[in-house]
Amino acid sequence: MSSFGVELAHAALTRVRAMHERAHWRREDRRQLRDVALPSLTDAEIRTLRHTWPFLRIDRSDLYWARLYKKVYGFDPYFLGSVNQFNALRARINPYREVCSLENKALLDVYFPEIPFPEVYVRCVNGQLFDANLQPLSLDNAWKILQTHGAFVIKPALESMCGKGVRLIRLDKVPQAGAAWLTGVFAGATQDFIVQEIIAQHPAVRQLNPTSLNCCRVTSVYVGGTYTCAALQKIGKAGSQVDNWNSSYFIGIQPDGRLKDTGWDDHAQPFSATDGGTPFASVIVPGYSSMLAAAESFHKRFLPQCGIVGWDMVLDTDGHLKVIEANLTVPGLPSEQLCSGPFLKDVHAELCHVFGSQDCNL
């Protein structure tokens, strides 16, 4: 095949993959919101969306989230209306070449030592075990390190969205624990991983659901020198060990740190209290202003090449800030908009500039 033919075949394959990916996320949007009676968008509203976001593809069949936001807030064109639109936006402002290596959770504390990530006990990078200081480890020495701590969390270094592969282990609950047992645990990780301390979180947040680490998610956006953010509190459902949306409630946060009246599960069903009965509106997030300040500082100082970052943060029992994760490839947006409103309006002009669009509805 000629080089021209190879290029044509590659272009055709790329288009087919893009079509399949768009169809996949359209199905996921529909599945996630299947239990919600969604209002329709008028022809005039769809035209306004296309005029507001001319650099994004907007299909009538692809606007489930836009319809949900209309139901909750009333129509506002500054919402991104589908996961496909968010993916297209993220691909431009968080280019893969900039974020691919930075997504490796086993190395984030090495790349950014000034960010207060949880203490690392053991890490596996490219199949090799290392300690916190990147000194190679044998399995026996890894076991000795973990024995001294007694409890730890192990999670994949990559692709751990929705809590996939995350395990909390307390050795006093594992009678067969030993080096041989640890071999099986590490083998079950199937890829690179990190072993970290279990954070003892601030009691005001822990009591909302004691079995999960209930993070504050700050989504920071820094484009063209303009900064904005949105924040929500994640509260695990009863018995959940993780606070991802498939096992938690997400609740917007007011400027003074108090939670809003209504939170949402991952099917966009509204709730007003934790599973333990605590009204969301009675909760004030401890250290909220410091989390907002930290997200802005960390984004501008360490990740200016990325337009959007999802920071999962908590305070520990001593009131010290801990950054659990910095999400770059899946920072989220549908939940943030549902909880916080159309916060991307603050950087709309800058986004238009990034995409080279001169006819945005400003």
Q: Mind listing the pLDDT tens digit for each residue in 258-308?
A: 999 999 999 999 999 999 999 999 999 999 999 999 999 999 999 999 999
User: Measuring CA to CA, how many Å separate 232 from each of 169, 203, 339, 343?
Assistant: 28, 18, 7, 13
Q: How far apart are CA 99 and CA 112, in angstroms?
A: 14
| Contact (Cβ atoms closer than 8 angstroms) between residue 199 and residue 152 | no
pLDDT of residue 71: 97
Nearest to 339 by CA among 259, 244, 227: 259
40-49, 188-197, 215-224: segment of lowest average pLDDT? 188-197
**Is pLDDT above 80 for 211?**
yes
Q: What is the band of 127 on the pLDDT scale with cuts at 50, 70, 90?
A: confident
pLDDT tier at 100, thresholds 50, 70, 90:
confident
Average pLDDT over residues 117-134: 94
Residue 123 predicted with pLDDT over 70: yes
* Mean pLDDT across 22-33: 87
Decide: 267 and 284 in contact? Cβ < 8 Å: no
Least confident window among 45-54, 237-246, 293-302, 342-351 = 237-246
- Type and span of the H or E element at 143: helix 139-149
Q: How many angstroms from the chain centroid is the CA of residue 265?
A: 15
Say how far residue 156 (Cα) sits from the centre of its chain: 15
Place 188 in a pLDDT band, splitting at 50, 70 and 90.
Answer: low
Domains and CATH numbers, the chain: 3-96 (no CATH), 119-196 (3.30.1490), 202-349 (3.30.470.20)
CB 55 within 8 A of CB 356: yes
Q: Which percentage of the chain shows pLDDT scores above 90?
A: 69
- Alpha carbons within 13 angstroms on the beta-carbon side of residue 56 total 35
* Of 171, 292, 166, nearest in space to 236 by CA: 166
pTM of the model as a whole: 0.91
pLDDT band at 33 (very low <50, low <70, confident <90, very high): very high
Q: Does the pLDDT of residue 175 top 90, yes or no?
A: no
100 compared with 205, residue with greater pLDDT: 205
